[in-house]
Amino acid sequence: MTLLIPGLRNSAAAAIAATFVVGAVLIALPFVVAQTPLANAGVRALAFALLYVMLALGLNIVVGFAGLLDLGYIAFYAVGAYMYALLASPHLTSNFPALAAMFPQGFHSSIWMVIPLGAALAAFFGVVLGAPVLKLRGDYLAIVTLGFGEIIRIFLNNLNSPLNLTNGPQGITLIDPVRILGVNFGRTQNFFGIELPSVYLYYYLFLVLAIVTIVVCIRLQDSRLGRAWMAIREDDIAAKAMGINVRNVKLLAFALGATFGGVAGAMFAAFQGFVSPESFSLMESIIVLAMVVLGGLGHIPGVVLGALLLAIFPEVLRHTVVPVQQQLFGKVLIDAEVLRMLLYGLAMVVIMLYRPKGLWPAPEHGLNPTIRRGRNGAKAQTA
Amino acid sequence: METFIQQVLNGLVLGSLYSLIALGYTMVYGILNLINFAHGDVLMVGALTALSVILLLQAQFPGMPGWLLLVAGMAVAIPTCVVVSLIIERVAYRPLRNAPRLAPLITAIGVSIVLQTLAMIVWGRNYMTFPQLLPADPIQLLGATVTVTKLLVIVLSALIMAALMLLVNRSKLGRAMRATAENPRVAGLMGVNPNYVIAVTFAIGAGLAAVAGVMLAATYTVAHFYMGFLPGLKAFTAAVLGGIGNIPGAMVGGLLLGLIEALGAGYIGQLTGGVLGSHYQDVFAFIVLCAVLILRPSGLLGERVADRA
Amino acid sequence: MSHPILRVSGVNKRFGGLQALSDVGLTIERGQIYGLIGPNGAGKTTFFNVITGLYQPDSGTFELDGKPYSPTEPHKVAEAGIARTFQNIRLFPEMTALENVMVGRHVRTKATALGAVLRTKRTREEEAAIRRRSLELLEYVGIARYADYQARTLAYGDQRRLEIARALATDPKLLALDEPAAGMNATEKMSLRSLIENICKDGVTILLIEHDVKLVMGLCDRVTVLDYGKMIAEGTPAEVQRNPAVIEAYLGGAHKSVATKEVA
């Protein structure tokens, strides 16, 4: 916590107090939001925002820490989601009688198995996708990863014949909700007299996962591996000369980044109850990238902020823009979806022009922090 | 199952379109080291603008001949695309010319999204039919069937590319473009205004994209706000295939990619024993892209990128 | 009888039409400060890049501390024990001075991602050791006070020192310095000279590319002179200075007569 709030660094008591306050707010949040006009949809949006936080932090490892521009990151989300969908829904057993015979109860998977499995599978894909592209320069890497992401989406869309693996554009439905220690997250549960609708339960689960993700990322950042990633990002030739096996370290970035995507994907599948290739389009990859870049590339608090802002803002928009337009024009000129995309695009352009390091970049610490590099890279003189 | 000649012809049509679009990518990359992500969307703007003009004219002047409508559509599409492209260059790319490479790429993606959403707002989300303007009767040629529109694509593209080669190799402006593409700073010292040359490069690319967009819509009789994405990506592949920054390379790359895609889509069913069908057609371009970038990143004819010393 | 720290011979490297290196080789004994000099464009940095694995030679044999090595991968070369600095300083600009040096410790440490995430005792101890050693090295080169400043904000001379500290962090057997004194004034050069002498005294052999004749004279035990990719002289600095071929290479044919005069 002290890392996230400068100024509290030296006061252990203040840090603990802050943690309690923030913790209390986060726990109470669903109840508060449910009272607003957003109601349960608002809590749902919060839950999705937490998934995006995981995705953004995962992508941050690849783009922010290691400096590798991945435009196909959503593929790992898709892998995790479809993996869970296949292992926890009637799809496989209803399409392949042999499997139905072997598993008369159908496919149901425990979360304790799914999370490590999702992580491992996504990591595997991370290595497979990353290995051939490691030596490409920046923009080429971006395009190839974009291509990979699209290839995966096309395959998901078309692998419904000759063998119906993914059920094509219709996707896979009837996915099991999460079940932990007998508690079914798909139903409203009652804890000590407090009613917790399914959406709240998922929110708390994702909150825990997001916090774990944040902690893991912070630890990775301040480690030998984290430094190696940053060295590669800054100057990969010098990094090589200093003994870093750049190829393996880059692969590790891809693999580790992918694991967060995979786990988030599995949770998404459970939460939403169905998956289809539509949820894993290029636009989603770009949105996650926008969250990382606009939040503060490489700076964990910035990335979290970026994810939360870009995930929640469209929801707020959806509930304000439509009625406002109805009031003003009597009809909806621009629907919320389109407006959301337009604003994403504008945000990307505007922020790169005026605040290229993001909204909350890593603090600079140097001899003369007022020496700023001008637009053309030259050092400005200070008095 | 279509004949080999038919596939080849289809490939040439597709390839000509890819070449026109690829030229825009390659010229901009050659000078700025920037993948103009929004280029595909510029072609979309051209196609949709032309469509609006054509529909308007058809409503006002029902007797107007098809070819005239097409010309009118292009006559409006080209300047529109040029203006849009110049605005983008001036507002979104020029300020970031010396920024680290991530910034212009993000901006380019942002611009692409903005163009698509603006198009969604103006023209709606639905697929629109681009009217059949030229006679649609099939013509038999060398054992294959073509339409006038398809022939026009091939011929028009060839003419335009020849004109471009003349411009680049024989004119003062062309010399200035080649010099700026090799070393903008030194070209500046020799009296070439790099901003002007860059603007012209974008303008030419946009013009080519406009023509390609209109012809694409005319050939496949459909237009919509997302129509620029795939052709744009494939054209970029073509540019890389031929050698990024290399103008003849873009032409060769485009034609070659078109042929690969047409032949691949035609024969993939046979090759994979029916497992993969022709809806995997788009995957071909991606596979070519990945293969080229991984195995031979400088492309077939070699890349020509600015020396940013 | 101990082997020479570095024994390289028969190195050839061609870039298209340019033969950058022709049959170049040298032998450096343990504990020496060895100079590699020559006019601009002679191939000195190319030679550095070849022995450290950044360029692949067309031919050559390479032996480090008695063991043959193949300079195909820079990180393996660093692991084997050659560390280098760069002619145009290549620090990690956004990282702090301390972090830059800590990166140098990467090759001699083992902590894994898992260890980092779980914060195992072994990982924590290794981290603390890395930190300690890095601070020591910053102290050693004289810039400990800038430990937490971003590398790009350091003064030029301090950046060069930082690069040296980072290279030392890899515990090299041979430290290859590429024009470490470039851009320094006389005082800075003296300070650099005593640093290099200290490094040598503390057990690291040094290979030095330098243009400053006085510095080379004062520091180096032996020198090889390159011109147009070929070795034109080899020996002690005094011997090499009087070599007519060397003088011609630096000053042109008209100055061959200088060979008979003593150079201070």
Average pLDDT over every residue of C99-119: 93
Chains that touch B (3 or more CB pairs under 8 A): A
Provide the chain B residues 18-77 that lie in CB contact (below 8 A) with chain A: 33-35
Q: What is the pLDDT of residue C262?
A: 46
Q: What is the pLDDT of residue A116?
A: 92
pLDDT tens per residue across span B250-303: 999 999 999 988 888 777 766 666 666 666 777 777 888 888 888 888 888 887
List phi, psi (to 5°) of B197: -65, -40
Helix A300-329 vs helix A336-354: crossing angle, to nearest 10 = 130
How far apart CA C59 and CA A327 sit, in angstroms, is 79
State the smallest CA–CA distance between residue B297 and chain A in angstroms. Answer: 8
Give the three-class secondary structure for A102. helix
**Chain B residues with CB-CB distance to A293 below 8 A:** 102, 106
C146·A367 Cβ contact <8 A: yes
B103·A356 Cβ contact <8 A: yes
C116·A243 Cβ contact <8 A: no
User: Does the pLDDT value for residue C258 go beyond 70?
Assistant: no
**Which helix (H) or strand (E) segment is A140 a member of?**
helix A138-158
Q: Is residue B166 exposed (0-12), middle (13-18) or buried (19+ Cβ within 10 Å)?
A: exposed
If you measure CA to CA, which chain A residue comes closest to B104?
A352
**Chain A residues with CB-CB distance to B299 below 8 A:** none
* Burial per residue of B249-280, b for 16 or more beta-carbon CB atoms within 10 angstroms, e otherwise: bbbbbbbbbbbbbbbbbbebeeeeeeebeeeb
Q: What is the pLDDT of residue B217?
A: 93
Q: What is the pLDDT of residue A317?
A: 78
Any idea which of A190-199, B135-144, C44-53, C246-255 has the lowest mean pLDDT? Answer: C246-255
A365·C111 Cβ contact <8 A: no
Which pLDDT band holds residue A162 (cuts at 50, 70, 90)?
confident
Which residues are paired to C12 by β-bridges? C59
Q: What is the pLDDT of residue A373?
A: 44
Contact A340, A321 (CB under 8 A): no
Q: What is the pLDDT of residue B48?
A: 95
Q: What is the pLDDT of residue A300?
A: 95
Contact A76, A265 (CB under 8 A): yes
Contact B90, B198 (CB under 8 A): no
User: Does the pLDDT value for residue C52 go beyond 90?
Assistant: yes
Q: What is the pLDDT of residue A261?
A: 95
Which pLDDT band holds residue A382 (cuts at 50, 70, 90)?
very low
From start to end of B161-234, where are the E strands?
Answer: 222-223
Which residues, in sequence order, are CB contacts of A140 under 8 Å at separation 6+?
Answer: B240, B293, B297
pLDDT tens per residue across span B254-267: 999 999 888 887 77
C123 touches chain A (CB under 8 A): yes
From start to end of chain B, where are the E strands?
Answer: 128-129, 139-141, 144-146, 222-223
Do B and C count as touching (3 or more CB pairs closer than 8 A)?
no
B102 touches chain A (CB under 8 A): yes
Closest C-alpha among B229, B40, B113, B104 to residue A340: B113
**Chain C residues with CB-CB distance to A364 below 8 A:** 150
Q: What is the pLDDT of residue C165?
A: 96
CA distance readout (Å), B66 to B138, B148, C240: 17, 12, 85
Provide the chain C residues 136-155 that lie in CB contact (below 8 A) with chain A: 146, 148-150, 152-155
State the smallest CA–CA distance between residue A111 and chain B in angstroms. Answer: 34
Contact B231, B39 (CB under 8 A): no
The first and second tokens of residue A30, run together, are 């669903």
The first and second tokens of residue A46, run together, are 């919060």
Q: What is the pLDDT of residue B262?
A: 87
List phi, psi (to 5°) of C67: -105, 130
**Chain B residues with CB-CB distance to A348 below 8 A:** 106-107, 109-110, 113
C87 touches chain A (CB under 8 A): no
A223·C116 Cβ contact <8 A: yes
Contact A202, A183 (CB under 8 A): no
Closest C-alpha among A64, A110, C242, C58 to residue B102: A64
> How do the pLDDT tens digits run along chain B, 309 residues long?
567 888 888 899 999 999 999 999 999 998 888 889 999 999 999 999 999 999 999 888 888 888 888 999 999 999 999 999 999 999 999 999 888 778 888 899 999 999 999 999 899 888 999 988 888 788 887 777 888 888 889 999 999 999 999 998 999 888 888 888 888 888 888 888 889 999 999 999 999 999 999 999 999 889 999 999 889 989 998 998 998 888 899 999 999 999 988 888 777 766 666 666 666 777 777 888 888 888 888 888 887 776 544
End-to-end CA distance of chain C: 36
State the smallest CA–CA distance between residue B92 and chain A in angstroms. Answer: 7
> Which of C102, C113, C167 is facing A252, going by the closest CB pair?
C113
Sequence spans of domains, chain B: 14-239
HEC string of B92-154?
HHHHHCCCCCHHHHHHHHHHHHHHHHHHHHHHCCCCEECCCCCCCCCEEECCEEECHHHHHHH
Any idea which of A76-85, A260-269, B60-69, C223-232 has the lowest mean pLDDT? Answer: B60-69
Percent of chain C with pLDDT over 70: 95
The first and second tokens of residue B220, run together, are 């496949």
Count CA atoms within 13 Å of residue C134 on its CB side: 26
Q: What is the pLDDT of residue A223?
A: 94
Q: What is the pLDDT of residue C123?
A: 93
Chain A, chain B: beta-carbon pairs less than 8 Å apart: 124
From start to end of C155-238, where are the E strands?
Answer: 174-178, 205-209, 222-227, 230-235
**Chain C residues with CB-CB distance to A366 below 8 A:** 149-150, 152-153
pLDDT tens per residue across span C142-178: 999 999 999 999 999 999 999 999 999 999 999 999 9
Q: What is the pLDDT of residue A1?
A: 46
Kindly write down the DSSP assignment for every residue of A203-268, as one continuous string: HHHHHHHHHHHHHHHHHHHTSHHHHHHHHHHH-HHHHHHTT--HHHHHHHHHHHHHHHHHHHHHHH
State the smallest CA–CA distance between residue A216 and chain C in angstroms. Answer: 6
Give the three-class secondary structure for C154. coil
B110·A346 Cβ contact <8 A: yes
Instruction: Tell which of B28, B94, B102 to mutate to test the A interface (max A CBs under 10 Å).
Output: B102
Q: What is the pLDDT of residue B164?
A: 92
Query: Measured at the alpha carbon of residue A80, what is the angle toward residues A74 and A85, in degrees to the nearest 5?
Result: 120
Q: What is the pLDDT of residue B181?
A: 84
User: Between these two residues, C211 and B224, which has the higher pLDDT value?
Assistant: B224
The first and second tokens of residue C227, run together, are 């011109």
Percent of chain C with pLDDT over 90: 71
How far apart CA B271 and CA C63 sit, in angstroms, is 52
What is the interface pTM, i.e. ipTM, of the complex?
0.90
State the smallest CA–CA distance between residue B144 and chain A in angstroms. Answer: 30
From start to end of B113-263, where are the E strands?
Answer: 128-129, 139-141, 144-146, 222-223
A66 touches chain C (CB under 8 A): no
Give the three-class secondary structure for A369. coil
Contact B136, B147 (CB under 8 A): yes
**Chain C residues with CB-CB distance to A239 below 8 A:** 92, 103
The first and second tokens of residue C201, run together, are 């005294």
Contact B73, B80 (CB under 8 A): no
pLDDT tens per residue across span A117-152: 999 999 999 999 999 888 887 788 888 899 889 889
> Which of B117, B125, B289 is facing A144, going by the closest CB pair?
B289
C74·A223 Cβ contact <8 A: no
B286·A345 Cβ contact <8 A: no
Q: What is the pLDDT of residue B283?
A: 79
Mean of the per-residue pLDDT values for chain A? 85
Kindly write down the DSSP assignment for every residue of C70-85, as one continuous string: -TT-HHHHHHHTEEE-
